[in-house]
Amino acid sequence: MRQQVQTGPEGPQETGKARRRDRDSTGASTALLGHPRHQDSLPVFLFPAELVFFAQQRSSHRRVLTLYNPYSFLLRFKMLCTAPSLYTVVEAEGSVRARSCVDIVVRHQDVSSRNWGRRDRFRLEVSGGGQGGSREIWAELKGGEGGETPQGQAPPPRSLSAMLPQGGLSPTRARDPSLFALYVIIGLVCITFLMLPLHNEPSTLVPTHLHVTVMQKLVCAYILGLLTMVFLR
Q: Calculate what percentage of the chain has a pLDDT beyond 70.
A: 69
Quote the DSSP letter at residue 209: G
Give the CA distances from residue 50 to residues 11, 65, 81, 226, in Å, rounded to whole numbers and listed in that order.
49, 9, 13, 12
Torsion of the alpha carbons at 195, 105, 137 and 109, rounded to the nearest 10:
180
Which pLDDT band holds residue 159 (cuts at 50, 70, 90)? very low
Question: Is the C-alpha dihedral spanning 33, 34, 40, 43 positive or negative?
Answer: negative
Stated pTM of the model: 0.52
Count of positions (residues) in the chain: 233
Arithmetic mean of pLDDT, 136-165: 57
**For residue 147, is it left (φ>0), alpha (ψ between -120 and 50) or beta?**
left
pLDDT tens-digit series, residues 106-118: 999 999 999 999 9
The answer to whether residues 161 and 217 touch, using CB atoms and an 8 Å cutoff, is: no
Taking residue 82's Cβ as centre, other Cβ atoms within 10 Å add up to: 17
Distance of alpha carbon 71 from alpha carbon 108, whole angstroms: 31
Mean pLDDT, the chain, as a whole number? 75
Between residues 124 and 190, which one has the greater pLDDT?
A: 124
List, for residues 38-79, the tens digit of each pLDDT value. 456 888 999 888 999 999 998 899 999 999 998 889 999 999
